[in-house]
Structure 1
Amino acid sequence: MAQRLLPEWHPQDAVQLTWPSADSDWAPLLARIEATLDAMVVAITRYQRVLIGTPDQATHERLARTFHRLGVPADRLMLIEAPADDTWARDHGPIAVERDGQPVLLDYRFTGWGGKFPAERDDALTGRLRDAGMFSAAVESRDLVLEGGAIETDGEGTLLTTEACLLNPNRNPRLDRQAVEARLNEDLGIERFLWLKHGHLEGDDTDSHVDTLARFCDVRTIAYVRCDDRADAHYPALAAMEEELMALRQRDGSPYRLIPLPWPRPCFDPEDGHRLPATYANFLVINGAVLVPVYGDAADARALSRLATAFPGRDIVPIDCRSVIRQHGSLHCLTMQLPRGTLNRPDPTDEEH
């Protein structure tokens, strides 16, 4: 049985989002995060559909009116009432593989990044969407704890990940490295594991998700966070991570093409002053475009320019994510791509892609 973990640049049916509820951790920032999500939906629906899980019927109806006013085509917007604990669809959404030429969605366990936060409704969300008939692809449950932000693939059997997350005893305490690799080989068709020992961002609750640090842009290219400020507390770990990336090799033994992403000025929470995890690595690849988080910083333009070299032929779309990092994530963390052939409702504009 041939299967592979699909890369983010594989053609997509939609991007999945989970809308925040008024009583969530987003409550003090609800208007701001909703404005950011509005901008993301408008941007994504220029290229493809968006599937949004809403916390209740009132929000469902309000969003339908809002996006109609914003000019979002009705056939690009899918709303489904699906209460959740938080908004981080990257980690509670399904992970897609291609098996014998057909997409399959794997529903892994989500425990709030090792029990740090409530996650029961998040963990049940993919099953709820399946039961509501949203997916045409098969959905298979897995007992492994695994978050989408913890893994990066080239789509050809190689996985890039961090030891700090995937081997953390707060995820799968009975599994050592060999057992984790065996499970991911069986589930995802992973044959090569590129483990990073170093790299972290202050304010990150995920135990160093790789999607905040280093990302595949194609089979040969990795974009990564580089800290060039020796006085910054991040410098030693990120410099060590850069050395690790330089030592990695492709299947043919050649080094990867590495694209360093700039280091924005430190962002701090205005309430208590703790540092926030601003990172340009948390971009989202969709059909025809790449959405890139920006932070009102002088480095924004350099990040956009460098990612344009990594994704020729795709539009580069900045999204202001200063509100998102207040809850310790960024743009990619809010999203999960659903590959072509996974949604039940066909897109009448597929021929445009």
Structure 2
Amino acid sequence: MTALTPAEAGFHMPAEGAPHARTWMAWPARIDLWNGRHVEAKAAYAAVARAVARFEPITMVAKPEDVAEAVAECGPSVEIVAMALDDSWMRDIGPTFLVDGKGNLAGADWRFNAWGDKWPDYANDAAIAAQVLERTGVRRFAAPFVLEGGSIHSDGEGTVLTSEQCLLNPNRNPHLSKSQIEVNLKAWLGAETVVWVGQGLENDGTDGHVDNLACFARPGVVLATSCRDPEDTNYAPMQDNLARLKAARDARGRAFEVLELPIPAKRVTAAGRLAMTYTNFYLANGAVIAPSFDDPMDKVAAEVLAKAFPERQIVQVPALAILEGGGGIHCITQQQPAV
């Protein structure tokens, strides 16, 4: 007998803005990832955790030998739990939580291969989702394909955003066609419509995760990364993504209202150009935990987010140190819906 997919069992991925029971994070573990800025990275993770903790419960997973450090950095408002880790991107290594509308919670445990085998050691990270689901005490659906949580975004009403650069990359699921991947997304996220953007930002080590490019403010309203400089290498792909979003229709047949979040000025470090984007924020209960980059565009981003989320508090947290490792605030958080 073939195992049921989440959709067959009545589950779907809710919108990130739906009420949460908890947020999950993972303490920085791969020290050589941070180009000598691991101390700053840990401080940035702790700042994000404390910001989230103002609005909902939060659990930080940490290597057993790092628990004391995480406790000291994060403070009493953040629960610290010991688990073996290789890296620290809970959006991608953690489960994608699912609901059935009847008070039941479940989780999709995606196959994880370190973003297309970019790191040789990821066995601990590949086991994290199952451990989180076991600790949470909810049903686990083990996916037969590679996916990262940062590569998908749901409006909770049947529409999922994703990107071609990531999901069609041969380093993930080379045996699957675009249509087969759509079938999987619908079966595992309870979706009816998949909306594809194209390419990601320059030097994005995730191969174009959609959480750097576009996300739902609410059904029918999308926030999208844009670039205002025609000379910037990000200009053409971001323009293409905007055009795709404006031409798309969601599962209810609606055209999207697209709100643009322009990228900040180009910044290059030892890691190369930082793939900075204000779209990589996190929706906590009653708040938007948003990145700031010590750039004049921070103020513009805060204004756009306030317009998109008038009922939420906008909390900007310095995120440059997180970007040194290749991701943003959304990448290091994972929501557990309230049921």
Give me the TM-score of the superposition, normalised by structure 2: 0.92
Match of 2:297 in 1: 299
One-letter code aligned to 2:286:
G
C-alpha displacement of 1:307: 0.7
* 1:207-226: CA deviation from partner (whole Å, max 9, x where unpaired): 11100001111001100111
SS in 2 for 1:216: strand
Secondary structure of the 2:283 match is: strand
Match of 1:48 in 2: 56
How far did residue 190 of structure 1 move? 1.2
Residue number in structure 2 paired with 1:113: 115
- Asked whether the 8 Å contact 1:24–1:86 carries over to 2, the reply is no
Distance in 1 (alpha carbons) for counterparts of 2:72 and 2:28:
17
1:210 aligns with 2:197: no
- Give the structure 1 partner of residue 322 of structure 2: 324
DSSP 3-state at the match of 1:96 = strand
Indicate the residue corresponding to 1:129 in structure 2.
Answer: 132
Distance 1:51 1:146 in 2: 23
Which among 45, 48, 69 is matched to residue 62 of structure 1? 69
Pairing 1:258-269 to 2, within 5 Å after superposition: 258-269=258-269
State percent identity of aligned pairs.
32
- The 2-side partners of 1:140 and 1:246 are apart by 34
Query: Structure 1 residues 255 and 22, CA, compared in 2 at 3 Å: closer, same or farther?
Result: closer
Aligned equivalent of 2:338: 340
Residue equivalent to 2:94: 93
Counting matched residue pairs gives 329
Provide closer, same or farther for how the CA distance between residues 180 and 330 of structure 1 changes in structure 2, counting only shifts above 3 A: same
**Contact 1:106-1:141 at 8 Å conserved across structures:** yes
Residue deviations 1:215-259, cap 9 Å, x none?
111001100111110111111111111111111123454421110
**Are the equivalent residues in 1 in contact too, given 2:22–2:57 (CA < 8 A)?**
yes
Amino acid at match of 2:238: L
Measure, in 1, the Cα distance between the counterparts of 2:242 and 2:70: 42
C-alpha spacing 1:254/1:108, structure 2 compared with 1 (3 Å):
closer
Q: Quote the offset at 1:60 in angstroms.
A: 1.2
Q: Tell me which amino acid in the other structure corresponds to 1:142.
A: A
**Contact 2:47–2:74 (CA<8 Å) still a contact in 1?**
no
Q: Which residue of 1 aligns with 2:149?
A: 148
Name the residue aligned to 1:244: 244
- Equivalent residue for 2:22? 14
Q: 1:103 aligns with which of 102, 105, 119?
A: 105
Write the distance in 2 (CA, Å) between the matches of 1:50 and 1:194. Answer: 31
Deviation at 1:203, TM superposition (A): 1.7
Provide the rounded CA distance (Å) in 1 between the counterparts of 2:31 and 2:248. 45
Task: Give how far 1:321 is off.
Answer: 0.7
1:256 maps to: 256
Per the normalisation by structure 1, the TM-score is 0.89
Which residue of 2 is the match for residue 344 of structure 1? Answer: none
Where structure 1 has 5 or more consecutive residues not aligned to the other structure, the ranges are 342-353
Partner residue in 2 for 1:348: none
- Quick one: which amino acid aligns to residue 234 of structure 2? H
| Distance of 2:26 and 2:263 partners within structure 1 | 29
Task: Specify whether residues 33 and 7 from structure 1 end up closer, same or farther in structure 2 by C-alpha distance, changes over 3 A only.
Answer: same
Amino acid at match of 1:226: S
CA RMSD of aligned residues (A): 1.7
CA distance in 2, matches of 1:259, 1:115: 34
1:25 shift after superposition: 2.1
How far residue 23 of structure 1 moved from its aligned partner, in angstroms, is 4.3
Taking the aligned partners of 2:125 and 2:253, their CA distance within structure 1 comes to 41
Rounded Cα–Cα distance in structure 1 between residues aligned with 2:282 and 2:101: 26
Q: Paired residue for 2:4?
A: none
**SS of equivalent to 2:335:** strand
| Cα distance between partner residues in 2 of 1:332 and 1:251 | 24
Separation in structure 2 between the aligned mates of residue 221 and residue 135 of structure 1, nearest angstrom: 32
Whether 2:187 is the aligned partner of 1:186: answer yes
Q: 1:179 to 1:22 in 2, by over 3 A?
A: closer
Distance 1:211 1:315 in 2: 20
- Separation (CA, whole Å) in 1 of partners of 2:280 and 2:58: 19
Map Cα deviations across residues 135-191 of structure 1 (whole Å, 9 max, x no partner). 032223222111111001110111111111112221112111222122222222111
User: Within 5 Å, which residues of 2 pair with 1:71-90?
Assistant: 72-73=76-77, 77-90=78-91
> What's the secondary structure of 1:261's corresponding residue?
strand
Contact kept? 2:45, 2:322, Cα under 8 Å: no
- The change in CA–CA distance for 1:184 and 1:67 in structure 2 (over 3 A counts) is closer
Alignment equivalent of 1:284, drawn from 282, 286, 290: 282
